[in-house]
Amino acid sequence: MDERATSPVDVVRASIAALNRGDIDEALEYCADDIVVWAPGRELDGQEVRGKEQLRLVLEYSEARWPDMWTAVRSIIADGERVAVEMTTVATEQGRRIAQPMAAFYLVRDGLIVEQSSYYDLGALTRALGEEW
């Protein structure tokens, strides 16, 4: 990281850009140690990842499973510390390209992401991956 992004939008964009390059270490530099990430899960209340080290494990698994994964930001808006992103994440699974539209909402304080909630169609993604619940 040459110049440290500090505005909430720049922090979110920099984190996504680092993940697109497969640079987990840099992406985590934009996260608070006690970050909380929420995503859909098997239960209606979803699932949480708590803390930077737990998030690292999730990101490392994703990078190993889908090394070509990247995210395209379609739109991004901010209101103070809150940032909303409409995006599409693309990866290859068993030779097939899978594109998953998503929305994510971030809370950024003092140049660090402290919360992220991502919304996507988990059922469709699970079927596309050929997995069963």
pLDDT band at 1 (very low <50, low <70, confident <90, very high): very low
Topology of domain 8-128, per CATH? Answer: Nuclear Transport Factor 2; Chain: A, (3.10.450)
SS3 string, the chain, reads CCCCCCCHHHHHHHHHHHHHCCCHHHHHHCEEEEEEEEECCCCCCCEEEECHHHHHHHHHHHHHHCCCCEEEEEEEEEECCEEEEEEEEEEEECCEEEEEEEEEEEEEECCEEEEEEEECCHHHHHHHHCCCC
Amino acid at 46: G
Per-residue pLDDT tens over the stretch 95-131: 888 888 999 999 999 999 999 999 987 666 666 666 6
Predicted structure pTM score: 0.87
User: Domain-by-domain residue ranges, the chain?
Assistant: 8-128
pLDDT at position 2 is 44
